[in-house]
Amino acid sequence: MNPNQFQVRLITGTGNGGGGGGWGCLPWMILGVLFLAVLPNWLANGLLLGLTLLIVAPIVALGVLGWWVRRNFIQGSCPACQYPLNGWKFQSAPTQCPQCGEVLHIQEGRYQRMTPPGTVEVQGVEILED
């Protein structure tokens, strides 16, 4: 084994872009603990609480956002041509299918046609007489 190679790998292993994780942040963690030990108790507790909130708040916010999107995002298809469509549950304005032009609205979490039920769609056929 080449000793130089080991050294290079060690350096690249610690420099993981400061994204957290790994042992690269260990000296900073030790420094942080020492820093907190020097501070008065109430200030240290306040800082820890602030840091915890700073870390936890985005995670909670992302979780809530994900839950809300899963609840309100609709993945459906055009009832006339089966073209896949995406939309929001609370969308009240009618939309138009980009493929067949059918006017659709969202009802009970599904895409439905604006035409009243029982309407029959007929395609015109030209009949030629000899």
List interacting residues with Zn ion (CB under 5 A).
78, 80-81, 83, 97, 99-100, 102
Closest separation in Å from C-beta 90 to Zn ion: 22
Q: Please, which residues have CB within 8 angstroms of residue 103's CB and are 6 or more apart in sequence?
A: 94, 95, 96, 97, 113, 114, 115
Separation of CA 42 from chain center: 37
Give the strand order in the sheet containing 95-96.
95-96, 103-107, 110-113
CA distance 59 to 28: 23
H helix runs in 73-109, sequence order: none
